[in-house]
Amino acid sequence: ALARCLVADAKIILFDEPLANLDMHLRSSMVDAFRDIHRRTGATIVYVTHDQAEALALADRVAIMSRGKVLQAAAPQEVYRAPANATVAGFVGRGSIVGGTVIDHAEETATVDIAGHRLVARSAGTSAGPVKILLRPEALRISPEGMPATVLDSVYRGPVHEVRLALPMPGPGPGPGPGQELLIDSTEAVAVGQSVNVAVSDAWIIPGA
């Protein structure tokens, strides 16, 4: 079907889950082939997929839909780094949405308190008070200093250990609610129950959350 489209010099090509039944390595090589076809033909490609890695790798614009409504349509990098709302933040990629409190804010950043630890987060504009903050695993690392947490679980994924952490319960006054967890990729194994500190290199305050 793809060969027929290319021979006919089609200007618009629809892909509907084309790689759903392929193994991992063949899927990867076909994604590269699709990218090459797009570059060489200049055709508009509408690519329907449930595989987020494929969508982010192939698209110049990604549309996130829920219940028939487009929640965000933007470049892949923007959808991933600055999701428009909590639904998109929870759906695209891996990450943790935690509660915090804005202490001070500027035009594009804000100082927030999460579990008694203060850090600077990116912001689309917010005011002081409770907020929801998106923390991606690649922006977190176990460090001698940082946000305190306790190891709940660790799963070996090959390149990294996928570690689930619990934030401390809040004390008196404003702060995160109980039961908040972080997901972090660690190159070193950690033990369940171990107390660690987490350094945060990037955070995003979710608009309207």
**Which of the listed residues 62, 89, 116 is the one where a domain comes to its end?**
89
Q: Are residues 126 and 42 in the same domain?
A: no
DSSP conformational letter for 177: P
Using left for φ > 0, alpha for ψ between -120 and 50, and beta otherwise, residue 2 falls in: alpha
Q: Are residues 103 and 198 in the same domain?
A: yes
Please tell me the predicted confidence (pLDDT) of residue 48: 87
- On the CB side of 51, how many CA atoms lie within 13 Å of its CA? 17
- The residue segments making up the domain with residue 47 are 2-89
Q: Are residues 84 and 101 in the same domain?
A: no
Q: Are residues 174 and 100 in the same domain?
A: yes
Which segments in the chain show pLDDT lower than 70?
A: 170-179, 209
**Which of the listed residues 89, 113, 146 is the one where a domain comes to its end?**
89
Note whether 183 and 197 are within 8 A (CB).
Answer: no
Q: Are residues 120 and 186 in the same domain?
A: yes
How many domains is the chain built from?
A: 2
**Which of the listed residues 89, 105, 136 is the one where a domain comes to its end?**
89
Note whether 112 and 203 are within 8 A (CB).
Answer: yes
Q: Are residues 7 and 65 in the same domain?
A: yes
